[in-house]
Amino acid sequence: MPAKVVTITSGKGGVGKTTAVANLAVALAADGSKVVCIDGDIGLRNLDVIMGLENRIVYDIVDVIEGRCRLRQAMIRDKKLPELYLIPAAQTRDKNAVSPSDMNRLIKDLRPDFDFVLIDSPAGIERGFRNAIAAADRVLVITNPEVSAVRDADRVIGILEAEEKGPAALIINRLNPTLVKNNDMLSADDVLDLLAVELIGIVPEDESVIISSNRGAPVAYDTKSKAGQAFRNIARRLKGEQVPFLDLNHRGSVWDRIQRLAGRK
């Protein structure tokens, strides 16, 4: 079966696109899928760092497109998962080095050999974003529960609708249940209420995400982390499984748990 091409985008920068791509790639590959991820953020590459593959880069996506190497030469195999590959972005070029038709051609070559092609989109709605969505079968829009991130997500969803890229699915990243409970953060319902799209995952705020990103070992490997669990669940949903959403309030204080047991909450 030809690969499903999934692009992860957000509009706003810094909401967790690259982290999500790395984690979904790890979760899908650990679950037996053949996965290749493409760093679409040419000029500001990051995905290789988060996946811990930075020191293995010889060729990059622009080398492939400009014919300086074969596609296979630019594909870096993951350290742990033999069915996971990365095509890194070029660091010394800019987004104009690639066109949407280049992306379409590249993806066409990848489709027969993989189950999933994950594309990490740059922030913004310009050329790099257009490249990243050009070949997508499915677009995941990621946002944080913050007013500015949600507004950019809304804009991106509007553009995707206009480009007839099918209904986008939403990942809400870095939700802090305690802040939500105290009405200091938008809740998942608030975000969904505004964006009115399908929800594919809620990832709780979790400092192990930062720690593991810095180590180059995505948190999806970490079976104890709630964020890792959330990403693994999103991966299963991408495969079409029905997975219930995590109960994020469950890790409350002892007093919370006693109250819940006593039926007071």
Which residues of this protein are in contact with another protein, per CB under 8 A? 99-102, 104-105, 125, 134-135, 147, 151-152, 154-155, 157-159, 161-164, 194, 196
Neighbours of 141 (CB within 10 A): 26
- For the bound state, the minimum distance from the C-beta of residue 242 to another protein, rounded and expressed in Å, comes to 27
The identity of residue 252, as a single letter, is G
CB of 130 to another protein, least distance (A): 8
- Residue of 111, 105, 130, 101 whose CA lies nearest to 42: 130
Q: Which is nearer to another protein, 101 or 259 (CB)?
A: 101
Query: Least distance from C-beta 137 to another protein, angstroms?
Result: 9
DSSP state, residue 198:
E
Task: List the one residue out of 247, 221, 254 whose CA is nearest residue 22.
Answer: 221
Nearer to another protein, 162 or 262 (CB): 162
For another protein, which is the closer residue by CB, 32 or 158? 158
Helices (H) and strands (E) in the chain, counts: 12, 8
Closest to 96 (Cα-Cα) out of 127, 67, 126: 127
Nearest approach, Cβ of 97 to another protein (angstroms)?
Answer: 12
In whole angstroms, how close is the CB of 71 to another protein at the nearest point?
Answer: 16
Q: Which is nearer to another protein, 99 or 208 (CB)?
A: 99
For the CB of residue 178, give the shortest distance to another protein in the complex, in Å. Answer: 22
- Report CA Rg, the chain: 18
Report the distance separating Cα 108 and Cα 104, nearest Å. Answer: 6
Three-state secondary structure call for residue 141: strand
Residues 6+ apart with CB under 8 A from 125: 11, 155, 156, 159
What is the dihedral sign for C-alpha 48, 113, 200, 41? positive
Q: CB-wise, 148 or 249, nearer to another protein?
A: 148
Q: Which is nearer to another protein, 44 or 194 (CB)?
A: 194
Judge contact between 85 and 77, C-beta under 8 A.
Answer: yes
CB of 85 to another protein, least distance (A): 23
**Comparison of 22 and 135: residue with beta carbon closer to another protein:** 135
